[in-house]
Structure 1
Amino acid sequence: MAEENFDEEESTVETFDVNYSCLRCGTLVSNSELSRLPEIKCICGFRVFVKARPPVVKTVKAI
């Protein structure tokens, strides 16, 4: 019984999938794909990734 409850609690935890893009070629890679690989490297061989930003632009009014 205790094992069943533990399994249910693990499945209810939300994981957010963060997307990264390669700095050289711009290939989008998710965080889960990067964690599966033995080393953090793009298909082009470059090792620098940048967190992909959403296309929404925030505007702030001046005081």
Structure 2
Amino acid sequence: MINMVEEEIDEVEETPVETFDVSYSCLRCGTSVLNSELSRLPEIKCICGFRVFTKDRPPVVKTVKAI
């Protein structure tokens, strides 16, 4: 008979990495898709079949004063 020794394993809590959902839109049809949805697909392709996406940006214009 073999004696089994149970080792106590200290569980290390991992801090979750912050992921930001970036929104992309198809250049042909304009359909908005999140980055998490695109990463699940085997290839980056819109529902219309087009493979070119642009990153959606907020409509805020930054102005910088010249020196």
TM above 0.5: yes
Normalised TM-score (structure 2): 0.75
Of residues 44, 51, 58 in structure 1, which corresponds to 2:48? 44
Q: Find runs of 4+ consecutive structure 1 residues off by over 4 angstroms.
A: none
User: Where does the alignment leave 5 or more consecutive residues of structure 1 unmatched?
Assistant: none
Shift of 1:21: 0.5
Aligned length: 59
Separation (CA, whole Å) in 2 of partners of 1:15 and 1:31: 10
Percent identity over the alignment is 83
The range that moved more, 33-42 or 53-62, is 53-62
Aligned to 1:53: 57
How large is the Cα RMSD of the aligned pairs?
1.5
Shift of 1:13: 1.2
